[in-house]
Amino acid sequence: MFHSKRSKLVAGVIFDLIGMSSLLGFGILEFADLAWAPIAGYLMTKLYPGKSGVAAGIFTTVEELLPGLDVIPSFTIMWCYTYLIKSEKESNKNNKSIDVDHSS
């Protein structure tokens, strides 16, 4: 589906805007969230496979179903977590040196 970081970011921003569009209807379009919520959850799991994608998919589905939470940019947050936070943590973990005691 979307493989590069950039394509996932662009798709995520578009999906977030779709999710937020119900706010423009002042409650009238809130019913559209009932249809969008499972679609958004599914798309999240396809964009980000694995445990974190499943967790984000569940969160996104619930977030879209609950009124007033449409302002949360779930897809963009997940992109930041995946490519900024998680990758930095993995980089730091791989760069830690192992101290070996040579005084035997």
User: What is the secondary structure of 71-94 as a DSSP string?
Assistant: TS-HHHHHHHIIIIIIHHHHHHHH
Residue 59 pLDDT: 97
Residue 28 pLDDT: 64
Flag whether 78 is in a domain.
yes
Flag whether 62 is in a domain.
yes
| Alpha carbon distance 40, 18 (integer Å) | 9
| Structure tokens that stand for 101 in this block | 């005691």
Burial class (CB in 10 A: 0-12, 13-18, 19+), 99: exposed
| Alpha carbon distance 95, 97 (integer Å) | 6
**Which segments within 1-104 are labelled E, that is strand?**
none
Residue 32 pLDDT: 82
Flag whether 40 is in a domain.
yes
> Could you read off the pLDDT tens digit of each residue along the chain, which spans 104 residues?
678 999 999 999 999 999 988 877 666 666 788 899 999 999 999 999 999 999 999 999 999 998 888 899 999 999 999 999 887 766 666 666 555 555 65
Flag whether 82 is in a domain.
yes
* Count of domains observed in the chain: 1
Residue span of the structural domain in which 60 resides:
5-86
Q: Rg for the chain (alpha carbons), in Å?
A: 18
Flag whether 25 is in a domain.
yes
Residue 27 DSSP code: T
Residue 31 pLDDT: 78
Flag whether 29 is in a domain.
yes
Flag whether 101 is in a domain.
no
